[in-house]
């Protein structure tokens, strides 16, 4: 894996972050993007080209998918005859496997739970709020302990979103957590963010705290919160809190999760495309292979941890436990699928632990 040539697919936020994150270790040959307005231009110092231009070098050269919704690109490449985990990878799969060969444990994205409460209950919620059975605010000490367990093992992570319920319902604990993480681990992640539906405006003191910890706000564009969202953006600008707009609230961007009927499916092949999750989950000392399973258990009370679904970060660090954790973060479930919904990002062409 270390000696191959790679293209990055996606000249957007995810692509920019992975280029910056990996710049000292890997310079991508080019960035592929279907947007004609981006082709022929430079993106983060790398040329942007079309798939047709890259195709003559494939599959010898490999593709890393950095699109915000990777399943569409994955389907396109699979339909073109390329093999996942051999000819192309999602970031979720690529980052752990690339750095494992450098004797590092690294992940692309971890979701953190600071609260399971939310002031919205959307049908099909990716965090299972619409069938919620638990409504809990977690204090900062508990969340901080999870970060301590995590960074005991993990060398690097690109994105750390604090999400699940509406994080700003527990804003004080979240702000204290972000301050701690920035002070103690700022050299080991690229972006620390708070995901919010845009309905809550933190007070000035909290905004100053978020600015000092360089925490980014990821603000969803729910139409019902348009005015409060605008006010939150104004406040972010005033206090120099970085922010981005996130469109995961659009139903056509959601994974098909949150419906208990999926538990009854006996044949995983019926779920051929899978949910293509883009994040692990960190909660209560466990690092989950799929954040959706963490949400299902912690919010909706669905399922339980089965072998390979998650790793207990409280174990002492050793060669054996590092290899166990690598299986989880590189999406290699023992059962071939994660237990709560029987589909995950790495099941189509799993790899084994090797170096």
State how far the Cα of 256 lies from the Cα of 292, in Å rounded to an integer: 11
Same-domain check for residues 121 and 145: yes
Same-domain check for residues 301 and 204: yes
Same-domain check for residues 86 and 111: no
State how far the Cα of 173 lies from the Cα of 252, in Å rounded to an integer: 32
Question: 184 Cβ partners below 8 Å, 6+ apart?
Answer: 147, 151
Cβ atoms < 10 Å from Cβ of 217: 24
Same-domain check for residues 137 and 12: no
Domain containing residue 43: CATH number:
3.40.50.720
**What 3-state class would DSSP assign to 131?**
helix
Question: 165 Cβ partners below 8 Å, 6+ apart?
Answer: 113, 114, 115, 116, 117, 118, 127, 129, 135, 299
State how far the Cα of 211 lies from the Cα of 205, in Å rounded to an integer: 10
Same-domain check for residues 285 and 185: yes
Same-domain check for residues 32 and 127: no
Same-domain check for residues 67 and 131: no
Position 303 scores a pLDDT of 72
Does 345 fall in a domain? no
Position 304 scores a pLDDT of 75
> How many domains does the chain divide into?
2
Burial class from Cβ neighbours inside 10 Å (0-12, 13-18, 19+) for residue 34 reads: middle
Burial class from Cβ neighbours inside 10 Å (0-12, 13-18, 19+) for residue 269 reads: exposed
Domain stops at, among 64, 91, 118: 91
Position 19 scores a pLDDT of 95
State how far the Cα of 245 lies from the Cα of 232, in Å rounded to an integer: 11
Domain stops at, among 59, 91, 123: 91
State how far the Cα of 108 lies from the Cα of 93, in Å rounded to an integer: 8
Q: What is the pLDDT along the chain (355 residues), one digit of tens a residue?
A: 666 789 999 999 889 999 999 999 999 999 999 999 999 999 999 999 999 999 999 999 999 999 877 777 888 998 999 988 889 988 888 999 999 999 999 999 999 999 999 988 776 677 777 777 788 999 999 999 999 999 999 999 999 999 988 999 999 999 999 999 999 999 999 999 999 999 999 999 999 999 999 999 999 888 888 999 999 999 999 999 999 987 654 444 444 443 444 444 455 444 444 455 668 999 999 999 888 888 888 887 777 777 778 999 999 999 999 999 998 888 766 555 566 655 444 433 333 333 2
Burial class from Cβ neighbours inside 10 Å (0-12, 13-18, 19+) for residue 82 reads: middle
Same-domain check for residues 81 and 127: no
Domain that holds residue 58: 6-91
Domain containing residue 279: CATH number:
3.20.20
Same-domain check for residues 154 and 40: no
Does 340 fall in a domain? no
Does 133 fall in a domain? yes
Sheet holding 280-283, edge to edge: 243-246, 216-220, 189-196, 156-164, 106-115, 280-283, 286-288, 310-312
Same-domain check for residues 36 and 178: no
Domain stops at, among 91, 119, 147: 91
Same-domain check for residues 64 and 114: no
State how far the Cα of 351 lies from the Cα of 349, in Å rounded to an integer: 7
Does 283 fall in a domain? yes
Position 43 scores a pLDDT of 96
Same-domain check for residues 25 and 167: no
């Amino acid at each position: 894996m270390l000696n191959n040539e790679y293209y990055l697919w996606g000249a957007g936020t995810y692509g920019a972050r992975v280029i910056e994150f990996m710049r000292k270790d890997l310079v991508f040959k080019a960035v592929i993007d279907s947007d004609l307005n981006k082709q022929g231009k430079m993106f983060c110092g790398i040329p942007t080209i079309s798939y047709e231009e890259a195709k003559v070098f494939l599959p010898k050269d490999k593709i890393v998918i950095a699109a915000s919704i990777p399943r569409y690109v994955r389907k396109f490449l699979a339909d073109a005859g390329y093999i996942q985990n051999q000819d192309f990878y999602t970031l979720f799969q690529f980052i752990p496997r690339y750095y494992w060969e450098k004797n590092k444990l690294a992940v692309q994205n971890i979701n953190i739970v600071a609260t399971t409460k939310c002031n919205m209950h959307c049908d099909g919620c990716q965090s299972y709020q619409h069938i919620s059975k638990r409504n809990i605010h977690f204090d900062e000490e508990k969340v901080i302990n999870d970060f301590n367990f995590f960074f005991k093992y993990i060398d690097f992570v690109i994105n750390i979103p604090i999400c699940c319920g509406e994080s700003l319902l527990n804003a004080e604990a979240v702000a204290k957590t972000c301050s701690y993480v920035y002070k103690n681990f700022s050299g080991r992640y690229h972006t620390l963010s708070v995901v919010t539906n845009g309905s809550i405006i933190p007070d000035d003191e909290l905004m100053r705290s978020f600015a000092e910890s360089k925490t980014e706000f990821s603000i969803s564009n729910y139409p019902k919160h348009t005015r409060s969202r605008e006010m939150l953006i104004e406040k972010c600008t005033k206090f120099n809190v970085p922010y981005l707009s996130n469109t995961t609230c659009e139903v056509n961007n959601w994974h098909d999760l949150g419906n208990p009927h999926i538990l009854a499916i006996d044949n995983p092949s019926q779920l051929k495309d899978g949910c293509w999750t883009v994040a692990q989950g960190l909660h209560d000392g466990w690092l989950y292979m799929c954040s959706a399973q963490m949400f299902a258990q912690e919010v909706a009370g669905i399922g339980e941890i089965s072998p390979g679904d998650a790793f207990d970060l409280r174990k002492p660090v050793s060669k054996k436990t590092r290899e166990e954790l690598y299986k989880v973060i590189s999406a290699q479930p023992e059962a071939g699928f994660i237990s709560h919904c029987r589909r995950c990002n790495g099941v189509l062409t799993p790899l084994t632990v090797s170096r």
